Amino acid sequence: MHKKYFQIILALILVLSLVLAACGSPVADKEITPTSGLEPTPVIESTPTSLPTLTPSLERVVLLAPPDANPAYVSSLETLIAELAGEAGLTWETRTDFSSSDLDPSLRLLIALPPNPNLESLVSTSTEVQFLGVGIPGLVPAANVSLIGPMGLRFDQQGFMAGFIAAVITPDWRVGVIGLNDTQPGRDSLVGFINGVSYFCGKCRPVYPPYLHYPKNISLTQAEIDVSWRLAVDALVQASVQTVYVPPEASSVPMLVDLIQHGMKIIGGEEPSQEFQSSWVATIRPDPAQAVRLLWEDLLAGLGGASLPMPLVIEDVNPDLLSPGRLKFAESVMQELLDGYIDTAVDPIIGEAK
């Protein structure tokens, strides 16, 4: 009986074991891996869109040189401005005309040469731009206006220094000048030369014959000098003149050749050609570039109101005719002239003696 119950219980345990084994899922024991054909979705990072930036235009300097401006002044100032503007990181250009419509925020400095390019109207249009008038009379210094040579180009001072140097280097003061009497610059040069000679030698009375009055002054009109320059040379030859001043406005190549062939030494106002250099004492000319260099930093800093005399320079010096010692003497007198301690005794308004 007990054996029979034991067999029944054992049979029940076996059946229960089979049922529990059948309930287990074979899939549960396997690893689930992602399908190899699917790619992960990339993550796109958003970046802010950059806005376009405007590059400011470079500040600039303008050299205003009207068509009648002296080419020598234009050339020297262009060389200087190119140097200084490059160092300051500025652009520059030369213009023959300029109107108020050309004024813009990029313009920092305008340098104007004579004849007067209507600078007054430009000055009144803009207070932000610095203006520099070079050798233009009639202007007044202001907060945005500076001047070099406020009385204009001083031809009387050039003539004065030419006369002084001629008297210094010439025995018995036998000097002369050929100039124009029908233009104000011509009259300024003539009277300035005469006074420069007298400044050094007084009445300039020669010790040896011919006993003539010096300096010998040959003044002609433009029409006369174009056709009668040989007569002017002959007059100087007859007066035994050894050194002659020929201002640029009265100069011509044939006349210079004739003067040199008669043994005369020349003082002029423009650079001589190679053929004249052996008889060329020196060139005396205005040099506005010197004053522009002095004012440059103040002008770029917006500091106007300066007024400087027009500088002069003695160059193209022949040391055989004008020694270093005499040159130094002349330069010291020239500085006193520019500083106002020496007067040319010429009225620069009318070109006549005071």
Per-residue pLDDT tens digits for 63-89: 999 998 888 889 999 999 999 999 999
**Buried/exposed 278-296: b ≥16 CB within 10 Å, e otherwise:** ebbbbbbbbbbbbbbeebb
Q: Binning pLDDT at 50, 70 and 90, where does residue 15 land?
A: very low
Please tell me whether residues 135 and 162 are part of one structural domain. Answer: no
Kind of pairing, strands 312-315 and 346-347? unpaired
User: What pLDDT, on a 0 to 100 scale, did the predictor assign at position 121?
Assistant: 84
Q: Binning pLDDT at 50, 70 and 90, where does residue 12 land?
A: low
User: Last residue of a domain, which of 148, 168, 195?
Assistant: 148
Take residue 155 and report the two structure tokens written for it: 């031809």
Please tell me whether residues 237 and 130 are part of one structural domain. Answer: no
Quote the percentage of the chain above a pLDDT of 90: 60
User: Rounded to whole angstroms, how far apart are CA atoms 281 and 266?
Assistant: 6
Phi, psi of 44 (to 5 degrees): -95, 120
In a domain, 227, yes or no: yes
Please tell me whether residues 112 and 256 are part of one structural domain. Answer: no
Take residue 24 and report the two structure tokens written for it: 């287990």
User: What pLDDT, on a 0 to 100 scale, did the predictor assign at position 55?
Assistant: 42
Identify which of 22, 287, 294, 306 has the alpha carbon closest to the alpha carbon of residue 143. 306
In a domain, 2, yes or no: no
Please tell me whether residues 98 and 181 are part of one structural domain. Answer: no
Please tell me whether residues 194 and 214 are part of one structural domain. Answer: yes
Kindly report the number of other CB atoms within 10 A of residue 50's CB atom. 6
User: What pLDDT, on a 0 to 100 scale, did the predictor assign at position 128?
Assistant: 87
Kind of pairing, strands 280-286 and 60-64? unpaired
Question: pLDDT digits over 274-326, tens only?
Answer: 999 999 999 999 999 999 999 999 999 999 999 999 999 999 999 999 999 99
Please tell me whether residues 161 and 226 are part of one structural domain. Answer: yes
Q: Give the domain range for residue 249.
A: 155-271+316-353
Please tell me whether residues 140 and 224 are part of one structural domain. Answer: no
Number of structural domains (the chain) is 2
Please tell me whether residues 206 and 344 are part of one structural domain. Answer: yes
Please tell me whether residues 216 and 322 are part of one structural domain. Answer: yes
- Report the pLDDT averaged over residues 244-266: 94
Phi, psi of 220 (to 5 degrees): -135, 165
In the block, residue with structure tokens 């003082």: 267
Please tell me whether residues 325 and 235 are part of one structural domain. Answer: yes
User: Last residue of a domain, which of 103, 130, 148?
Assistant: 148
Its sign, for the CA torsion 155, 158, 164, 166, is negative
Please tell me whether residues 132 and 159 are part of one structural domain. Answer: no
DSSP 36: T
User: Last residue of a domain, which of 98, 130, 148?
Assistant: 148
Please tell me whether residues 249 and 324 are part of one structural domain. Answer: yes
